[in-house]
Amino acid sequence: MKKALLIIGLGIICLKVFSQANDSLSYSFSIQQTIDFALQNQNDIKNAMVDEAIAMQKVKEVMGLGLPQINSSFDMKYFLEIPTSLIPAEFFGGPPGAFAAVQFGTKYQATAGLDASQLIFSGDYFLGLKASKVYVELSTKAIQRTKIETAATVSKAYYTVLINEERMKLMDANIVRIKKAMDDTKVLNDNGFVEKIDLDRLTVTYNNLLVEQGKVLRLLKLGTYLLKYQIGMDINATLTLTDKLSDVKFDLSSNITVEKFDYSKRVEYNLFETQHKLAGLDLKRNRFSYLPNAFAYGSVSGSAQRNTFTIFETGYQWYPTSLIGAKVTLPIFTGLQRSSKNQQAKLSLQKAENNLEFIKSSIDLERTSSITMLQNASEMLENQKKNIGIAEEVFRLSKLKYEQGVGSNIEMITAETALKESQTNYFNALFDALVAKIDFDKANGVLIIN
């Protein structure tokens, strides 16, 4: 009995923990909160930030080249055969021109040393340091571009879910309306006032609506899963969207014109501008390669020579060596390599300048296109909104006429079909307008991200 009570108690505790875990995975997000969540958890953003951290470490790596370089070494040798040297034999009373083979040295030799060097001047180093910092700037702007792309993608997915939610609401209302008409027709048919074919037509319409409702429901679930995936959220979490489609404004800002635009608002332009800066630094670096490089160095070492393995024992002599020096290198002729590198750098800079002009033209075209697309989408949306009102009124009158016996069942079903079609057209137009609005904000550099 006690064992059973213990198992039940543990089960209750597990259920509470599971319930609390599920509660912690419940979110209610506006579109901005959804974007903020994505910027913290989305995989592309994380990788872009890692790339920025790598670039910053690259700067430190380049800076390290200008700091003192200190290395230690230890070398120990055991000669199985001591090297043989040839010396003139006449040193030992031998005939002139003859050589005697002798062996010098000991079987065990060891050398321990400490080397240090310091860069004094290098054009490559100073310009490389500048270039590495610009590379960090490039990585930072790449993060900004990834954030903007993520914000645009997440916004479209967010609005897709909202649209499908509205479609579900209208679909439910349509089903309720047709169900009532079908029930009323069944009563009339049971009492002999209408033919069974009238009831059958409404039944077919009702069944079709149920099938379509299932499709919309599945699309809603799929859209929600896609949104969670795009923002890096647990797929099993509960996500509630708090924004309303009615809050979205599709009117064009009066201060946005095609003629005047600050290209620095577009991160793509900033990226090309940074690449242009890198190309300029590369050209300077190649020109500075004609300058000399200078560095100072020093070395301290000691050597030991033994016929027995007493290298690490005290009381034996080590022979020290120390030196300091400075070195200047100046390239004189490198087989015209430097000239070719300079020409390559000049051409790369010219290419970067061409890309800057190209991105300006691309931005102008994109902005012009986005304005046109948003205007067209807004007008289409307003037109479809009016069509829904008209279709609803036509259906209401057709239903009223049918109920009063002065209209036909076919007329009412035709009106209902037209209403459903107008609703579908409205939601398609609404989605196109939302996408056009996001593309417009992105093209004009006003897509809001934190």
Instruction: Write out pLDDT tens, residues 272-327.
Output: 999 999 999 988 888 887 888 899 999 999 998 888 888 888 878 888 999 999 99
Residue 111 lies in a domain: no
pLDDT band at 256 (very low <50, low <70, confident <90, very high): low
Return d(Cα 440, Cα 248) in angstroms, integer.
13
Task: Report the alpha-carbon distance of residue 168 to residue 224 in Å, rounded.
Answer: 14
Entry pTM: 0.78
Q: Is residue 344 part of a domain?
A: yes
In the predicted model, is pLDDT for residue 151 greater than 90? yes
Percent of the chain with pLDDT over 70: 92
Alpha-carbon distance of 202 to 411, in angstroms, equals 12
Distance CA 414, CA 399 (A): 11
Per the CB < 8 A criterion, the answer to whether 440 and 372 are in contact is: no
Establish if 241 belongs to a structural domain: yes
**What is the number of structural domains in the chain?**
1
DSSP string covering 389-428: HHHHHHHHHHHHHHHTTSS-HHHHHHHHHHHHHHHHHHHH
- The distance from CA 354 to its chain's CA centroid, rounded to whole angstroms, is 26
**3-56: pLDDT as tens digits:** 544 454 555 544 444 444 444 589 999 999 999 999 999 999 999 999 999 999
Cβ atoms < 10 Å from Cβ of 426: 23
**Cβ(157)–Cβ(220) under 8 Å?**
no
Could you tell me the residue range of the domain that residue 153 belongs to?
26-65+124-292+338-443
The pLDDT tens digits of the residues spanning 164-220 come to 999 999 999 999 989 998 998 898 888 888 889 988 999 999 999 999 999 999 999
Evaluate whether 261 touches 363 at the Cβ level (below 8 Å).
yes
Considering all CA atoms of the chain, what is the largest pairwise distance in Å, rounded to the nearest integer?
Answer: 148
8 A C-beta contact, residue 114 and residue 297: no
Residue range 326-381, pLDDT digits in tens: 999 888 887 788 788 889 989 999 999 999 999 999 999 999 999 999 999 999 99
Q: Environment class of residue 312 by beta-carbon count within 10 Å: exposed (0-12), middle (13-18) or buried (19+)? A: exposed
Which one is predicted more confidently, 344 or 97?
344
Query: Which two tokens mark 294?
Result: 């200078």
Residue at 27: amino acid letter: Y
Cβ contacts of 262 within 8 Å, gap of 6 or more: 445
Do 66 and 174 contact (CB within 8 A), yes or no?
no
**Amino acid at residue number 107:** K
In the prediction, which pLDDT does 24 show?
56
Q: How many residues does the chain have?
A: 450
Report pLDDT for 249. Answer: 80
Helical H runs in 289-320? Answer: none
Burial profile 13-27: b = 16 or more Cβ within 10 angstroms, e = fewer? eeeeeeeeeeeeeeb
Quick one: pLDDT at residue 251? 67
Q: Decide if 308 is inside a domain.
A: no
Q: Is residue 140 part of a domain?
A: yes
**Three-state SS at 65:** coil
Q: Is residue 6 part of a domain?
A: no
CB 377 within 8 A of CB 250: yes
Identify whether the C-beta of residue 241 lies closer than 8 Å to the C-beta of residue 158.
yes
- CA-to-CA separations, 112 to 322, 323, 447, in angstroms, rounded: 12, 14, 63
Give CB contacts under 8 A, 24+ apart, made by 163-168: 163/245, 163/427, 163/430, 163/431, 163/434, 164/216, 164/219, 164/220, 164/223, 165/220, 165/241, 166/245, 166/427, 167/216, 167/220, 167/423, 167/427, 168/213, 168/216, 168/217, 168/220
The CATH number linked to 147 is 1.20.1600.10
Q: What is the DSSP letter of 108?
A: E
Look at residue 260 and tell me whether its pLDDT is greater than 80. no
Contact 450, 31 (CB under 8 A): no
Q: Is residue 319 part of a domain?
A: no
- Is 9 inside any structural domain? no
